Amino acid sequence: MANTTPIFIAVIGVGGVGKCFLSQLQDLTIRRPSPKLTLCYIATSRKALYNDDYSAINVDGAINALANSSKTPPSLPDLVTYLTMSPGKAIIVDNTSSQDVADAYPTALKAGVSVVTPNKKAFSGSYKLWQDIFQAAAASGAKVYHESSVGAGLPVISTLKDLVETGDEITKIEGVFSGTMSFLFNSFAPVSGGGGKWSSEVKKAKELGYTEPDPRDDLNGLDVARKLTILARLAGLPVESPTSFPVESLIPKELESCSSGDEFLEKLPLFDHQMDEKKASVGNKVLRFVGSIDVATQSVKVGLQSFEPSHPIAALKGSDNIISFYTKRYGSNALIVQGAGAGGDVTAMGVTADLIKIIAQIA
Amino acid sequence: MANTTPIFIAVIGVGGVGKCFLSQLQDLTIRRPSPKLTLCYIATSRKALYNDDYSAINVDGAINALANSSKTPPSLPDLVTYLTMSPGKAIIVDNTSSQDVADAYPTALKAGVSVVTPNKKAFSGSYKLWQDIFQAAAASGAKVYHESSVGAGLPVISTLKDLVETGDEITKIEGVFSGTMSFLFNSFAPVSGGGGKWSSEVKKAKELGYTEPDPRDDLNGLDVARKLTILARLAGLPVESPTSFPVESLIPKELESCSSGDEFLEKLPLFDHQMDEKKASVGNKVLRFVGSIDVATQSVKVGLQSFEPSHPIAALKGSDNIISFYTKRYGSNALIVQGAGAGGDVTAMGVTADLIKIIAQIA
């Protein structure tokens, strides 16, 4: 029985993840010709490319065609209207990190348009938005998948959902959720001892492209706090926002008012002693930047913790993430998922895998 | 949009996994009343319980009712006929390890009846059966899910499928795939040095219920070979059978002809020196029983290998499994999944999670 419902795909965002996703989508349409997938819309925040008759945009070359398009993007409600009138089912793939796009998910879902995204904003913003999203999806039957919002393509969200949906009780979730923080601490405080100066490691991480353009956006801990918010909510805790629990920032107080990331990086060496002191204070253990969720005490926190060198969190390499799920069924030995938690290809992989899962349900 | 297609579930096998599954199914029907799930058939190899009008069997108490039933199981083709005539969609949940039941999957799938199972036999038997199963499913649109056939409820099959379906290239899969072997080597050759006598550890493992009734069924490596066969096929290698590649048996040649597991256990201490020699031969490394698949060279093998103490495979605890996926996208740092790979509850969890995924697609 071949699936026959045509599926129309609207892609928003063609940055690092968006480009990798388009390449995977092209590959997918070749390897899985059924059901018929049609890329009918592609846009950045300033330009859009689409045809009024929903005829297909060639995935190969879509980015160039978009650059040459003279159309500006319609409002998000207008995009939803356009998609609901398509002669099939529609899916929005949001490859941005935009709060505005995230805020439109309930409108899309209510109208029966499914959503796939690595964008953390919708799921880690206000608890009201979270509720609106899942209530809209439940009411219309549209799907919303966001594997890559935590740990990129690693099976984190799907594993947590399987545990919860099959009736296991999550007791604790703990891990390293930031590739940037992983790289920084694996270099600054390696298990083997030694390690570089903190400010040098931050500079190196920026040069290697492991940080945001302004490294303070990694060091303030908010990215990890957003991921913890998502996991805590999936585990059943009604966390109000990523600023409603303790988050330790690694930005020295004195540098909070720097006017630019460059100024920050220039002055950071003056405060290396602060990180050296923290490193020395843990003795034979090693310092790591982790997030944890204790379900029984409803406590969520993000910050520095020390680990025995034999602990899996201490043994992490490169910019890998590690996520440990402690549950009633799994007992004292956690279910652990580990691997690259950032990068265009692996993030896009989570998006594409989600897309395939939605198609299997709606086609 | 509530799903409205009624789903009829036929459960075969009520052993350790089957009992845990029924408990999770009961929980599921309470927490997710829609779509309507009806347990319409339950059987062991000798007894069956079902109503000609497909009326529901109460999940709570089903095992007792089955014990009191005077019906014998119909043939598997007759069961499939019964299910195809149900007023809805049907799913067989095979909680046995029976080859006979496995051989009937193509018939069920061809008739549009989906299959969920932790039973390795169907996917690790002849390559012909593997092809028949997936061709039947593709033709009818029925689904076949078997997460718990490798690593119990750990996200192993689903992760591998996501990698492959999104177009990643698997280069290598490596890991500890047997809870029994994991326990034995973590005790016999711990990273910290020392460790008990091999024969004592085998006895202890049997007493703790970590081995099959006859421990030779674990020590011959066939269980691991079956799991490797499944993963290799999913990675694209047309492995003919679990005996078509090198599998190292830990049964001393001299004991291959023992008439019983008890006789084997009694005589095993006479051969402890063999394992001691193997352990001594790896120096500062530690011995582990692993399976590996090298996709480029199409090489699959199962047996002893030595690992640096800092290697994740060496650091495993208790009876945990660890599975490392090396792929083009993930580069030199593998995507790793780790945790309990055996036990009724976690095995049933994989079955229940699969069932939920099938329901989402067919309801």
pLDDT band at B209 (very low <50, low <70, confident <90, very high): confident
Q: How far apart are CA A339 and CA A321, in angstroms?
A: 5
First CA to last CA across chain A, in angstroms?
A: 11
What residues of chain B lie within 8 A of the CB of A333, using their CB? 317-318, 320, 339-340
Chain A segment 105-144 residues within 8 A of B by beta carbon are 139-141
Helix (H, G, I), strand (E, B) or coil at A62: helix
pLDDT band at B5 (very low <50, low <70, confident <90, very high): confident
Q: Do A356 and B165 touch (CB under 8 A)?
A: yes
pLDDT of B41 over the 80 cut: yes
Encoded amino acid at B262, one letter: D
Average pLDDT over residues B294-312: 95
Average pLDDT over residues B301-326: 94
DSSP B71: B
Helix (H, G, I), strand (E, B) or coil at B322: strand
Question: What pLDDT does residue A165 have?
Answer: 96
H helix runs in B92-156, sequence order? 99-103, 105-110, 121-124, 127-140
Q: pLDDT per residue over B83-95, tens digit each?
A: 999 999 999 999 9
Q: B358 with B116: CB under 8 angstroms?
A: yes
Q: How far apart are CA B141 and CA A171, in angstroms?
A: 38
Q: Do B346 and A329 touch (CB under 8 A)?
A: yes
Q: pLDDT per residue over A127-148, tens digit each?
A: 999 999 999 999 999 999 999 9
Q: What is the largest CA-CA distance in chain A?
A: 67
Q: B321 with B341: CB under 8 angstroms?
A: yes
Average pLDDT over residues B313-329: 95
Question: What pLDDT does residue A4 have?
Answer: 74
CB burial of residue A196 (10 Å; 0-12, 13-18, 19+): middle
Q: How far apart are CA A102 and CA A115, in angstroms?
A: 10
A 10 A CB-CB count for B211 gives 25
Minimum mean pLDDT range among A144-153, A204-213, B53-62, B278-287: A204-213
The pTM of this model reads 0.96
Question: What pLDDT does residue A31 have?
Answer: 84
- Distance from the Cα of A1 to chain B's closest Cα (Å) equals 5
Mutation for A interface: B186, B329, B345, most A CBs within 10 A: B329
Question: What pLDDT does residue B3 have?
Answer: 56
Q: How far apart are CA B143 and CA B271, in angstroms?
A: 47
Q: Within 13 Å and on the Cβ side, how many CA atoms surround B45?
A: 7
Question: What pLDDT does residue B109 have?
Answer: 98
Structural domains of chain B ordered from first start: 7-153+345-362 (3.40.50.720), 156-340 (3.30.360.10)
pLDDT of A40 over the 60 cut: yes
Chain A segment 282-301 residues within 8 A of B by beta carbon are none
Average pLDDT over residues A87-108: 97
- CB-CB: which of A1, A139, A333 is closest to B320? A333
Average pLDDT over residues B136-149: 97
In this structure, what are the phi and psi dihedrals at residue B169, rounded to the nearest 5 degrees? Answer: -110, 120
> Annotated binding residue at B93?
no
> Annotated binding residue at B96?
yes
- Distance from the Cα of B159 to chain A's closest Cα (Å) equals 7
Question: What pLDDT does residue A2 have?
Answer: 46
Chain A segment 15-44 residues within 8 A of B by beta carbon are 24, 27-28, 31
pLDDT of A224 over the 70 cut: yes
Q: How far apart are CA B178 and CA B288, in angstroms?
A: 11
Question: β-pairing, A7-12 with A37-43?
Answer: parallel
Minimum mean pLDDT range among A157-166, A177-186, B312-321: B312-321
Question: What pLDDT does residue B2 have?
Answer: 46
pLDDT of B1 over the 70 cut: no
Cis ω on the peptide bond leading into residue B35 (within 30° of 0)? yes
Q: What is the largest CA-CA distance in chain B?
A: 67
Question: What pLDDT does residue B35 have?
Answer: 73
The four Cα atoms B240, B242, B244, B246 give a dihedral, to 10 degrees, of 150
Helix (H, G, I), strand (E, B) or coil at A301: strand
Q: pLDDT per residue over A260-306, tens digit each?
A: 999 999 999 999 999 999 999 999 999 999 999 999 999 999 999 99
pLDDT band at A35 (very low <50, low <70, confident <90, very high): confident
> Annotated binding residue at A16?
yes
Question: What pLDDT does residue A282 have?
Answer: 95
What mean pLDDT is reported for chain B?
A: 95
- Distance from the Cα of A317 to chain B's closest Cα (Å) equals 8
- How much of chain A exceeds pLDDT 70, in percent? 99
A 10 A CB-CB count for B257 gives 8
Question: What pLDDT does residue A3 have?
Answer: 56
Is B227 catalytic? The answer is yes
pLDDT of A1 over the 80 cut: no
Q: Do A162 and B153 touch (CB under 8 A)?
A: yes
Question: What pLDDT does residue B32 have?
Answer: 79
SS3 assignment for A8-47: EEEEECCCHHHHHHHHHHHHHHHHCCCCCEEEEEEECCCC
